[in-house]
Structure 1
Amino acid sequence: MTEKDIHLAIQVVPLTRDNDVYDKIDAAINVIRKSGVKYVITPMETVMQGSYNKLKRVSEEAQQALVDAGCGEFLVNIKMHIRIDNDVTMEEKRLDR
């Protein structure tokens, strides 16, 4: 896979009956915050920018954070934008240009 920067959007959905759903989501987001990758948090998902291998690793660590937070079942939706010859950047997708 390319070592150029890609975008990986991740949405985690804890399937739990307790009231700590957002705490579990925040645990996953905190992994992303601490990872050092460029990211944007939106109401429905978090979009990260970096190499494929780095973002794959961060997304796996974010999922482990859910488990560590006591989440026994969850959904993970991942979308990627990959460009083989050039980086994919946050700046090129900004709506306020």
Structure 2
Amino acid sequence: MMEFKQKIVNVAVQVLPMSKTHEMYDMVDAAIELIQKSGLKHKVTPFETVIEGAYGEVMELVEAVQQACYNNGAENLLCNLKIQSHQVEDVTIEDKVAKYE
């Protein structure tokens, strides 16, 4: 059986950075840019970004996304995650949305 950290999962990440001196959307844009440059499959939606990849890789990216918000002016942030995994099979974005696109 494949180690869990290597299984393909979907993680929905929503960052809500807060700052008295920086615009929230500028910090969110920096986070999305990092996700886009990661090479991992992703889908940006109005409320969150869904990332597909090996569990370990995605969680490293989630940590980097939070750091990107801090690097771009966040004083604090909320980071909401939803994780879909499967014991045996990979989880893909297409499994959930292909019939709607």
The alignment covers a number of residue pairs equal to 97
Higher helix proportion, which one? 2
Unaligned runs of 5+ residues in structure 1 are: none
Please tell me whether the aligned partners of residues 22 and 73 of structure 2 are also in contact (alpha carbons under 8 angstroms).
no
1:48-84 per-residue CA deviation (whole Å, 9 max, x = no partner) reads 0001100000000000000100111111001100112
TM-score, normalisation: structure 2:
0.89
> 1:76 and 2:79 equivalent?
yes
Runs of 4+ in structure 1 off by over 6 angstroms are none
Unaligned runs of 5+ residues in structure 2 are: none
1:1-59 per-residue CA deviation (whole Å, 9 max, x = no partner) reads 51121001100001223461100001111110010000000000000000110000000
Identity among equivalent pairs (%): 37
**Corresponding residue number in structure 2 for 1:67:** 70
Q: Structure 2 CA distance, aligned partners of 1:81 and 1:91?
A: 13
One-letter identity of the residue aligned with 1:81: Q
